[in-house]
Amino acid sequence: MSIIEALVLGLVQGLTEFLPISSSAHLRVVPALMGYPDPGAAYSAVIQLGSVIAVISYFWTDLLNLATGSFKAVKEGNYDSHEVRIAGGILIGTLPVCILGLLLKSMLEQDDSPLRSLYVIGTASIVMGLILFLAEKLDKQTRTMEQIGARDGLLVGLGQACALIPGCSRSGSTLTVALLLGIKREDAARFSFLLGIPAITLSGLLELKHLLSAGITSDGAMTLVAGFAVSLVVSYLAIAWLLRYLKSHSTIVFVIYRVLFGIVTLYTAMHATP
């Protein structure tokens, strides 16, 4: 992989990790459309660490308040404080993707896995886009971040587990479930971002460990660093933009994009060289 290809993939990762359009799908489809080799699941997972650092940086104050507030509330026996409920929701919501990730680990790590098929990606993008459209049409977003609890965390976490299938979108799946639970768009996005931190971090660190154990060339290290750096900067900007956008706009533009992206992906799969 050249540095240019790494920069392009870092840009794609940064733009798509937190928008509800699937980063894993774009990291598979964009190289196919541009004639690049498939970067593979391992490379994709490692450059996601740039997105993790971006979301931690953006929500650093929130995370600090959440940690200190939870510690204080538990110490006082106040288990119904909103900090404890949100922290509990994040912990419980992380379990489904960890359990399923371990069960499907061997399949997910294969670069030629059926789950990375363009047919699967295209279909998942369209189906999940239509479900997001349904969530918008129900239009019952009245609950705030402070009202989120363990049950919400578990259900949104199950949505996050669906994103093990490229094309479903971690951000899109969690945002969709949160909207169906009646959580306001901006707060749904915030919880989605916070919920993703443990899972994306664990996945990226595990793949990084595997890459380092297998050995990596200086050129390979350079492409990883380049993709990581671009991913970090662009992810931070994407988070800020999306939260601002969702204050006064619906997610319909992403629904339209997902359906069109799915159609293009399926078309590409049908006309790909055997």
pLDDT digits (tens, 9 = 90+) for 42-95: 677 778 888 989 999 999 999 999 999 999 998 888 888 889 999 999 999 999
pLDDT digits (tens, 9 = 90+) for 181-197: 999 999 999 999 999 89
Instruction: Please report the pLDDT score of residue 255 as a whole number.
Output: 96
Q: Which tokens belong to 8?
A: 């392009």
pLDDT digits (tens, 9 = 90+) for 24-47: 888 888 888 888 877 776 677 778
Name the pTM for this structure. Answer: 0.87
Q: Which tokens belong to 30?
A: 């964009």
Distance CA 249, CA 185 (A): 9
Distance CA 193, CA 186 (A): 11
Instruction: Please report the pLDDT score of residue 146 as a whole number.
Output: 87
Which residues partner with 143 through β-bridges?
183
- 273 pLDDT above the threshold of 60: no
> pLDDT-based confidence at 167, cuts 50/70/90?
confident
Instruction: Please report the pLDDT score of residue 1 as a whole number.
Output: 73
- 235 pLDDT above the threshold of 90: yes
pLDDT digits (tens, 9 = 90+) for 194-230: 998 998 888 778 777 766 776 676 777 788 888 899 9
Close Cβ partners of 110 (under 8 Å, ≥ 6 residues apart):
41, 116
Distance CA 241, CA 58 (A): 12
Percent of the chain residues topping a pLDDT of 70: 93
Rounded to the nearest integer, the mean pLDDT of the chain is 87
Instruction: Please report the pLDDT score of residue 22 as a whole number.
Output: 87
Contact 224, 50 (CB under 8 A): no
